[in-house]
Amino acid sequence: MMKRWWLVIRSLMVVFWVALFWSFLYLPRLKNLFPQERSIAILAWPTAVDASVLRAFEKETGIKVYVNYFEDYEEFFVKLKTARGEGYDLITPADYIVPALIEDGLLKTIDKTKLPFWSMLRKDITGLYYDPDNKYAIPYFWGIYGIGYDKRYFAGVEPDPTWGLVFNPALMPKHIGMLDDARETILIATQYLFGTVKSLDASQIMRVKELLLSQKKQVLSYTDMRAASLLISGGCPVVLSLGYEVARVIRAYPHIGFLIPREGSFLLVDNFSIPSSSAKEELVYQLLAFLYRSENLKLLVEKHLFYPPTVEVEPSPYLPLPTQEQLARADFFRNILSKESINDIWISLKA
């Protein structure tokens, strides 16, 4: 009896190993006989793509969309470079990230003939420094930095539109809110002191550092996400922030205002790009055409108050478009300082 069971067990083991060997040889071929899931993987800023829009796209096309989010662009860059873009079919890089991705060969060339909305993109956000011919990046949502303020503190009178409201002790309130981003904070301080520059020498870097250390005494909080809360609570009558962050507060609290400094400002443009490792371009172009439909862009503007990328869509009444003069004076967060200089200033500031 035991011998018979042993023969059965041996026979099953032989069948198992034969089946396993056969599967390694023929499973890839068999897989091709069955339809595979049509899907796209996106690496995106949390507010870049709306879940309801993606569900509508999936329903219309049958293409499944998987979204991976990142919290800051350092995380984004690490995720993308570590895997050489593998696993992602569409990404949302900010303007200053694009040149590094191009240099590393991580982006595919955009086929504009497959983008029916291309001719409708706003001229203000195409042909910019980071990709002059838009070979690798498609402008999506964008914003401008400025100052959110409490009208009650200024007795209902709009204050002088100047960065001095956050840098000049004679104009600053007792408490202000500042960005919690080293690069952006330092470059805005640079613009206040020197205007638009392409580089900084050692003495200029020291002046920027001294300005921020002096300002620190009146900074209630360095924050990106809580700037709105500082205004609402009355803790800070002035905060430095992105326009659309302040506009979301204005929508509910009409005593809050936003101004763009006369010295200039900074634009932030988030884009869509296709990683060079993606093999799903045709599916990606379908998604892009869907995302840039007017009704979907309107939803994005109404919900998040970003500036729209196309001329077909009007901006939110809570955040009018910058004037041509303001745009002409606006700069971008270019790489004019070394990481070492930025870290030195920021560590001194946060110590």
Q: State pLDDT tens for residues 88-116.
A: 999 999 999 999 999 999 999 999 999 99
39, pLDDT greater than 70: yes
Please indicate, yes or no, whether residues 123 and 239 belong to a single structural domain of this protein. no
Do residues 233 and 296 both lie within one domain? Answer: no
Q: Could you tell me the pLDDT band of residue 75, with boundaries at 50, 70 and 90?
A: confident
Note the pLDDT of residue 35: 42
Shared domain for 95 and 116, answered yes or no, is yes
Is residue 252 domain-shared with residue 182, that is, in the same domain?
yes
Amino acid occupying residue 174 = K
Task: pLDDT band for 72, please (50, 70, 90 cuts).
Answer: confident
Which CATH number do you get for residue 293? Answer: 3.40.190.10
pLDDT confidence of residue 27: 38
Q: Is the pLDDT of residue 254 over 80?
A: yes
Residue 33: predicted pLDDT: 39
Contact predicate 195/261, CB 8 Å: no
In angstroms, what CA-CA distances link 1 with 4, 13, 15, 169? 5, 19, 21, 97
Give the pLDDT mean for 9-37: 47
Query: What proportion of the chain, given as a percentage, has pLDDT over 90?
Result: 74
pLDDT digits 0-9 by tens, 324-343: 999 999 999 988 999 899 99
**Exposure string over 239-254, b if 16+ CB within 10 A, otherwise e:** bbbbbbbbbbbbeeee
Is residue 56 included in any domain, yes or no?
yes
In this structure, the strands spanning 138-150 and 238-242 are antiparallel
**For residue 211, is it within any domain?**
yes
pTM for this prediction: 0.84
What residues make up the domain containing 340? 143-267+328-350
- At 55 the pLDDT is 96
Of 188, 173, 180, which is closest to residue 226 (Cα–Cα)? 180
- 293 within some domain: yes
Q: Tell me: pLDDT of 202 over 80.
A: yes
Q: Based on the domain organization, do 167 and 243 belong to the same domain?
A: yes
**pLDDT for the residue 80:** 77
- The answer to whether residue 64 scores a pLDDT higher than 70 is yes
Average pLDDT over residues 184-204: 94
Q: Is residue 175 part of a domain?
A: yes
Instruction: Give the Cα separation of 164 and 262 in Å (integer).
Output: 10
Task: Judge if 89 and 126 occupy the same domain.
Answer: yes
User: Is 323 part of any domain?
Assistant: no
The answer as to whether 298 is a domain residue is yes
* One domain for residues 125 and 171: no
Number of domains in the chain: 3
Q: How crowded is residue 84: how many other Cβ atoms within 10 Å of its Cβ?
A: 13
Q: Residue 322: inside a domain, yes or no? A: no
Q: Residue 301: inside a domain, yes or no?
A: yes
- Mark whether 86 and 120 lie in a shared domain: yes
In residues, how long is the chain? 351
Residue 338 shares a structural domain with residue 221 = yes
Q: Which two tokens stand for residue 234?
A: 């009355």
Q: Are residues 231 and 296 in the same domain?
A: no
For residues 86 and 285, what is the distance between their CA atoms, to the nearest angstrom?
A: 18
The first and second tokens of residue 108, run together, are: 């595919």
Query: Could you tell me if 110 and 172 lie in one domain?
Result: no
Asked whether residue 51 falls in the same domain as residue 200, the answer is: no
Number of other CB atoms surrounding residue 231 within 10 Å? 27
